[in-house]
Amino acid sequence: MENVLLTLQYDGTRYHGWQVQPNGITVQETLQNAIERITGTRSAVTGCSRTDAGVHANRFYCTTGKPEQLSEDKFVQALNAVLPFDVAVLACRTVDDNFHPRYSAVGKQYVYRIWNGNTRNPFEQGRALHVRAPLDAEQLNTIAEMFVGTHDFSAFCSAGSSVQDKVRTVRRSTVTRQGDLVLYTVEADGFLYNMVRILVGTILDVNNGRLTPENVREALCSGNRDLAGATAPACGLFLNEVWYKKEEAET
């Protein structure tokens, strides 16, 4: 078996997140089932992130074993032939046995989608948060820019996180508008549990008047979760890209 890096794309609406769980179907289990159908072996699958229930991915990377006699292209075709409609394998490449899709990552990008129309859009159901109140993207972008830099993001992390070091470096944090679609894009060297959804909730709470820009600064400086905004729903969140060192993996 060769150690390969798969590039996935999936709609997370029907899944209880990425990681295998006893109480519901997950993307990881679905992929393992597909690999077993092709190879006859229950192979380990290691992912680049632990996306929550309802979270989607435009680019998700995972490693697994591939039979040596099966080419990379044939492996992709075979997997897509047996995977359900909402999970697709985009690419496959051989990587070193020491490569880890999570710990070898040097950066990730998430995009949160908000449908800002007076009426809901059926085609965005489950893929964007519907917010009827008008959003001033330019004003919200000034709030988003506060998160750029190296900060302790304790205030923007779920209370259930066991991670001790909550310092992360955010390289990009922007709010833009495309018609009725408002996009929050954030890039960092790593993310805490529910960090992006709390950043979005904080930005939206400034828009609806529950928080002020000064409140956001105070939350960022103090690390007090109570001072930050609500956790936005999972439906609008997409893992958009993951970057690795070129010498480790070309993705």
Q: Could you tell me which residues come within 8 angstroms of residue 22 by beta carbon, excluding any fewer than 6 positions away?
A: none
pLDDT at 248: 57
- 61: its two tokens: 């990377």
pLDDT at 199 over 60: yes
49-70: average pLDDT: 95
3-state secondary structure of 136: coil
User: How high is the pLDDT of residue 245?
Assistant: 83
pLDDT in tens, 115-155: 999 999 999 999 999 999 999 999 999 999 999 999 999 99
Q: Which of 123, 140, 120, 144 is nearest to 131 (CA)?
A: 120
Pairing outcome for strands 167-178 and 181-188 = antiparallel
Tell whether the model's pLDDT for residue 247 goes beyond 70. Answer: no
Tell me the two tokens of residue 141. 């972008």
Quick check: 98 pLDDT over 50? yes
Domains observed in the chain:
2-103 (3.30.70.580), 106-241 (3.30.70.660)
For the cut 70, the answer to whether the pLDDT of residue 109 exceeds it is yes
Q: Strand locations in the chain, DSSP E? A: 2-10, 46-47, 56-66, 87-94, 105-115, 129-130, 149-152, 167-178, 181-188, 237-244
The string of pLDDT tens digits covering residues 149-182 is 999 999 999 977 778 899 999 999 999 999 999 9
Structure-model confidence comparison of residues 41 and 196, the more confident one: 196
Question: What is the pLDDT of the chain when averaged over all its residues?
Answer: 94
Mean pLDDT, residues 198-225:
96
Encode pLDDT of 5-29 as tens digits.
999 999 999 999 999 998 899 999 9
What is the model's pLDDT at position 117? 95
Task: For residue 109, list its beta bridge partners.
Answer: 187, 241
Residue 81: the pLDDT is 98
What span, in angstroms and rounded, lies between the C-alpha atoms of 141 and 174?
5
Q: Strand 237-244 to strand 181-188: parallel, antiparallel, or no bridges (unpaired)? A: unpaired
pLDDT value of position 251: 43
Helix (H/G/I), strand (E/B), else coil: 245:
coil
Phi, psi dihedral angles at 242 (to 5 degrees): -135, 135
Q: Which residues are catalytic?
A: 52
